[in-house]
Structure 1
């Protein structure tokens, strides 16, 4: 029996799509620990795919981010450049911009800096997880599913329906309430968690590839790569 979990951030905290031998279910929780606990004991999950950078760079952009942009083409703006760890540890966005620019020659957006809480939550959790944890990027997963980069954003009706259809064709039907009534979870969040689950399943089956291959390693020793 193969059980994998795809995870994406959302307003409520985290949303997960669980694939359990063909059965699909969804969960929402305020913390990643709570989310994984809802999906079952961590030891029972073969792979957890997370739509969040894991493996923070030291002095230069990550190869994973650059390769992901290349893989999805027109929608490449959905891949943000992961700030260096020292910048994310800075006490303010202004300080983070200075640090990141000194180390990489680039600034850091306020949106990227605002994600530091979730970035460090995943960074700390992944190292103590009893399951294999891999980084994914949903748009890279959808491009792989479609056989070509998508050109319509998932924030549009056509874009959401295209992604829903791709997941359904892959055996991940995201239809009905999924137990998410009254939860602060957007359509795009659930679609992204579904794509993350698809990539996690490919890792479990030995079918996935990593961007880059082999993964890149920084001072934090995590093998940084996006798996698809």
Structure 2
């Protein structure tokens, strides 16, 4: 990123087999990293760039006891035609259910909706991050981001094309390039393990993390919603 930019930040996205991250550090090219666990990825980024300040991660941070999170509702509203990219985060009890059917039953018993297959498929990673954040006592600030919301803020409008299409990939690469974020063709292990859309999502998550670091980001909701477990839940962009 350009001189005078934010201190080191990391954008993180879930991918097959683990997590991919894009590290933005002042005066250095973007670096992509892969690790099987989110905590390990953040540790690797911290080793690569001292004084890592903010981590923007595309995974729910904060789980409700029952109803929908305001962050999910507001992000979907802002994305309009791209609202389907925002899934409603299931309650903690639903995510801890051993089967999708049980998750649906627990969600409805708490007064919520059924749990989508996409949301339940991410349960392992959601619970992994939830446990990590609860156990840690130090480290960079970790905030929740949503790549499609980040791109909408970056460009002024939701993306025109689905991210897994060629047109969608080029649209997002162009937006990142305009923001000063260049991704090399050879990303090493990260490029071999993560899909192109995962890398691009991690990159724009890093862009939002940089905005958080400089105080330019906004949260949905504003102020963040305090959930039953005391976590302040919000999506930042």
Q: TM range, normalised to the smaller chain? A: over 0.9
**Match of residue 194 from structure 1:** 203
Matched, 1:6 2:6: no
For residue 182 of structure 1, report the CA deviation from its aligned partner: 6.5
3-state DSSP class of the match of 2:113? coil
- CA 1:181–1:100 in 2, change beyond 3 Å: closer, same or farther? closer
Give 1:71's match in structure 2, choosing from 65, 69, 78.
Answer: 78
| Alignment equivalent of 1:29, drawn from 8, 30, 35 | 35
Output aligned runs, 1:198-213, within 5 Å.
198-213=207-222
When the two chains are superposed, the root-mean-square deviation of aligned CA atoms in Å is 1.6
Per the alignment, residue 172 of structure 1 pairs with: 181
The residue aligned with 1:155 is: 164
TM-score by length of 1: 0.95
Q: Determine if contact 1:84/1:100 at 8 Å carries over to the other structure.
A: yes
Cα distance, 1:56 vs structure 2: 0.5
Q: 1:89 to 1:148 in 2, by over 3 A?
A: same
Q: After TM superposition, give the deviation of residue 32 of structure 1 in Å.
A: 1.0
Gaps spanning 5+ residues in structure 1: where? none
**Which residue of the other structure, out of 145, 155, 171, is the alignment partner of 2:154?**
145
Return the TM-score normalized by structure 2: 0.92
Q: Which residue of 2 aligns with 1:83?
A: 90
1:101 alignment partner in structure 2: 108
